[in-house]
Amino acid sequence: MNKYAIILAAGKGTRMKSDLPKVLHPVCGTPMLQHIINKLKKNDIDKIIVVIGHKSDKIRETIQDDVIFVEQTEQNGTAHAVLQAVPHLAGKEGTTLVITGDTPLIEETTLESLLQEHTNSRSKGTVLTAIQNNPTGYGRIIREFNSVTDIHEDNKLGNVVGIVEEKDADVSQKKIIEVNTGIFAFDNQTLLEGLPKIENKNVQNEYYLTDIVSVFIEEGKEFGGYLLQDPNEAMGINSRVQLSEAETIMRKKINQKHMDNGVTIIDPSNTYIESEVMIGNDTIIYPGTVIKGNTIIGSGVTIHSNSEIQNATIGNYSIIRQSVIHDSVVGQYVQIGPFAHIRPKTAIKNKAKVGNFVELKGTTFGEGSKANHLSYIGDSKVGDGVNIGCGTITVNYDGKNKFKTIIEDGSFIGCNANLMAPVTIGKNSIVAAGSTVTKDVPEDALTISRTKQENKEGYATKIKNRR
């Protein structure tokens, strides 16, 4: 069976009060629209069509997936939006999902179940429904057998015979608590035949996709309803408050997933992990940790409080203490922090140590090497077994260009050294404390570059007496 999907993402989202299109607002680090595309792909959808309108260029720029974009230049309702996708579906057999772009909490398993329910039924269309104790704002589901106010088990309600929008519902219909989620499955050809028959006879003078139910019923076609077990999945996001609520729900699910997979999260309510993060078993995460982007964390890692990790890879059994790591690779058995800053394009090899108030940027830091305190190592290649003394600075920037420092295996850099790039420190060499190194250092050499000390005995007393 061929499967297609239409995502409705043309709305302005005025209640968000944002310059960013609503569907691009992130939930746990991923744009709402991207969440939906990802879940559709997990259901092996053959063709995904995204209907865009408001700030469409920004959406095209952000979403790089293999999807088809079509534009709804005028906001004339959801049926009108679906009509824009017709040229890409004409003549095709199969099932078409229609889903709104602001429902990022929907699970791929729910979409799979909806597709299966539709395929197994005689219905030409199936709507995903949910129970909302406070249904205000939602379209109400009218079934064959429901008593308007009472909802029983799904299979006792009969087929759907209508969907009434909030603004068009009468007093009795507003008491119904089974609501439309905005997610449908259709026989593709039947959908395309029914769309032109929808009229705009409603308060908004818009073409509602929900009116296709009446079109189908008038033609003797059945329309089914599949009741969603967790109504939170169908939560639409129209405001910053709802965005925050969705973040909370998704964050809880993400943390639950990692804990089910063997990760210890000391305080899940105070731990932020984005949706694409991967974490190995036996890793321990302390409160206040933020893990973002496409981060991959190995097994047995310990991440202490107030650490921020983004788009980084952390090897097995490493320890991170109150540090920031962005766009970098950390090996196994590495110790970082407290208060280290690992900036982009840094690679720290196995068993290395990067201590308190050390900053690395664009640097390869060798296996077993150490920089334990108060140093800046930028645009550098540090070999294996190197010791970087406290206060060491690679002077890599002249105001216009960046230059590279190379510190070869086994070298020892004394405290408070300045390495004036471009410069190479040879293997097993020693740079004396307080040196400013401006020339390459040969292998096995001791380099001393500092002003000769001069002691003037009794001079301190003379200076004090002048005051």
Residue list, annotated binding site for UDP-N-acetyl-alpha-D-glucosamine? 8-11, 22, 72, 77-78, 139, 165, 180, 238, 343, 361, 376, 387
What's the residue count for the chain?
Answer: 467
Please check whether residue 307 is in contact with residue 322, taking contact to mean a CB–CB distance below 8 angstroms. Answer: yes
Which is catalytic among the residues 35, 88, 304, 373?
373
DSSP assignment letter at 441: B
Q: Which two tokens stand for residue 389?
A: 């003394």
Q: Is 78 helix (H, G, I), strand (E, B) or coil?
A: helix
- CA pair distance 437, 426, nearest whole angstrom: 12
Sorted by sequence, the CB contacts under 8 Å of residue 276 that are 6+ apart come out as 29, 30, 293, 294, 295
d(C-alpha 297, C-alpha 207), whole Å:
49
Candidates 17, 23, 28; CA nearest to 277 is 28
Question: Annotated binding site for Mg(2+): which residue ranges?
Answer: 102, 238
Q: What are 239's two structure tokens?
A: 């405001």
Query: Is 304 a known active-site residue?
Result: no
Contact 304, 318 (CB under 8 A): no
Are the C-beta atoms of residues 153 and 141 closer than 8 Å to each other? no
Q: Please report, in range form, the residues annotated as the binding site.
A: 8-11, 22, 72, 77-78, 102, 139, 165, 180, 238, 343, 361, 376, 387, 396-397, 433, 450
Give the Cβ contact number of residue 204 at 10 Å: 12
Helix (H, G, I), strand (E, B) or coil at 240: helix
Q: Nearest Cα to 387, choosing from 360, 341, 358, 352?
A: 352
Q: Residue 364: what residue type?
A: T
Q: Which token pair is 195? A: 């769309």
Q: Are 429 and 409 contacting, i.e. CB atoms less than 8 angstroms apart?
A: no
DSSP H helices, 166-239, are 188-194, 212-218
125: tokens are: 């269309």
Count CB neighbours of 107 within 10 A. Answer: 14
Tokens, residue 420: 């004036």
Of the candidates 411, 387, 407, 385, the one whose C-alpha atom is nearest the C-alpha of residue 396 is 407
Count CA atoms within 13 Å of residue 1 on its CB side.
15
Structure-block tokens of residue 297: 């964390």
Please give the positions annotated as active site. Answer: 373
